[in-house]
């Protein structure tokens, strides 16, 4: 199927917050994939992730089918375009790409979340950014309950049980692992732009371009090679995570 024959898609994503045009790395990477594949789509801004089938964003509506989770959306887009999204990736590239995606999604992401939600000095930005539009009478209650839930989630995940110093060291090791690859390679796997670059870049952009900066932003800035990589991938695709001036 050529891109002109692909039915239009609606992408449900969060509104801009924290200086990020697309505050969710999972939403941003789907947008990158859609643009890369030249698939027509509308962005629907949705503040309430509970509207999604699994109470998370992103989800898409494609030909009346609702599909959530960026990974499942990737698979759907690949199928829609006759294999164009994963085209050219060797099994080894695919394996490495999956492993690095798991590193950013299932480890680094939770440290990004911790840097926003657990830091008492930074939490007022979460309060304003995520709950500022609620009526004042319920804003405090909802944000307190949400923060309590987030502490519980981070505790169950495990990273929330570490000290701030240990969390920072974990983050630094995650970023160092990416930098070890990207110092000598243009792309995270193989020698061409791939869908895995969207997954890694969306997470890097979210932590580097976060305004005001968090402790995670400061650690990201220790790795200029990652900043250059994230900028280059965003400019190659033409989709940026930060809010446009
Ligand atoms: N595995 C999912 C993760 C999506 C996700 O965690 N989305 C977050 C925003 S970054 C969300 O909607 N969280 C709302 C919640 O958990 O209540 C994907 O790849 O799409």
User: Is the C-beta atom of 70 inside 6 A of ligand 1?
Assistant: yes
d(CA 188, CA 29): 15
Give me the residue label for tokens 């995650």.
174
Q: Determine the average pLDDT of the residues in 69-88.
A: 97
Q: What is the pLDDT of residues 160-182, one digit of tens each?
A: 999 999 999 999 999 999 999 99
CA dihedral 106, 112, 118, 121 (to 10 degrees): 180
Token representation of residue 169: 């060291």
Q: Which residues on adjacent β-strands are paired with residue 13?
A: 45
Q: How far apart are CA 1 and CA 39, in angstroms?
A: 11
| Ligand 1 atom 10: residue of nearest CA | 24
Q: Kindly list the distances between the CA atom of residue 28 and the CA atoms of 140, 202, 206, in Å, as whole numbers in the listed order.
A: 29, 6, 9
Average of per-residue pLDDT across 65-82: 98
- Take atom 16 of ligand 1 and give the residue whose Cα is closest: 56
Ligand 1 centroid, distance to 128 Cα (angstroms): 20
CB of 24 closer than 6 angstroms to any ligand 1 atom:
yes
Contact between 68 and 56 under an 8 Å Cβ cutoff? The reply is yes
Residue 49, ligand 1, Cβ within 6 A:
yes
Mutate to test the pocket of ligand 1, among 15, 23, 24, 126 (most ligand atoms within 8 A of CB): 24
Counting ligand 1 atoms within 8 A of each CB, the residue from 16, 49, 148 with the most, and so the one to mutate, is 49
pLDDT per position as a tens digit, 85-112: 999 999 999 999 999 999 999 999 999 9
Evaluate: CB of 173 within 6 angstroms of ligand 1: no
pLDDT in tens, 17-61: 999 998 999 999 999 999 999 999 999 999 999 999 999 999 999
Determine whether the shortest distance from the Cβ of 57 to ligand 1 is under 6 A. yes
**Atom 1, ligand 1: residue with shortest CA distance:** 69
pLDDT in tens, 202-244: 999 999 999 999 999 999 999 999 999 999 999 999 999 999 8
Question: What sign does the CA torsion over 103, 73, 202, 230 have?
Answer: positive
Domains and CATH numbers, the chain: 3-80 (3.40.30.10), 91-118+162-237 (1.20.1050.10)
Q: What confidence tens digit (pLDDT) does each residue in 129-160 have?
A: 999 999 988 999 999 999 999 999 999 999 99
Cβ(51) to ligand 1 under 6 A? Answer: no
184 CA to middle of ligand 1, Å? 31
Say if residue 1's pLDDT is above 60: no
Average pLDDT over residues 63-81: 97
The closest of 205, 200, 204, 241 to 21, measured between CA atoms, is 241
Cβ of 54 less than 6 Å from ligand 1: no
């Amino acid at each position: 199927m050529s891109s002109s024959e692909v039915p239009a898609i609606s992408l449900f994503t969060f509104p801009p917050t924290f200086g990020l045009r697309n505050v969710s790395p999972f939403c941003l990477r789907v947008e990158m994939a859609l643009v890369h594949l030249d698939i027509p789509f509308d962005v629907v801004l949705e503040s309430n992730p509970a509207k999604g089938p699994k109470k998370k964003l992103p989800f898409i509506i494609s030909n009346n089918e609702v599909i959530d989770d960026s990974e499942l959306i990737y698979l759907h887009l690949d199928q829609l375009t006759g294999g164009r999204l994963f085209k050219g990736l060797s099994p080894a590239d695919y394996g490495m790409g999956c492993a690095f995606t798991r590193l950013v999604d299932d480890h680094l992401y939770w440290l990004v979340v911790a840097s926003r939600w657990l830091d008492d000095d930074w939490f007022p930005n979460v309060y304003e950014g995520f709950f500022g539009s609620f009526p004042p009478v319920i804003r405090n209650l909802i944000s307190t309950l949400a923060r309590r839930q987030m502490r519980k989630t981070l505790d169950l995940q495990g990273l929330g049980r570490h000290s701030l110093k240990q969390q920072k060291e974990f983050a630094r090791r995650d970023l160092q692992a990416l930098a070890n690859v990207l110092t000598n390679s243009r792309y995270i796997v193989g020698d061409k732009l791939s869908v895995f670059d969207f997954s890694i870049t969306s997470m890097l952009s979210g932590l580097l371009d976060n305004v005001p900066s968090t402790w995670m932003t400061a650690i990201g800035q220790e790795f200029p090679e990652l900043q250059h990589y994230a900028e280059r991938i965003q400019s190659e695709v033409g989709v940026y995570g930060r809010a446009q001036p």
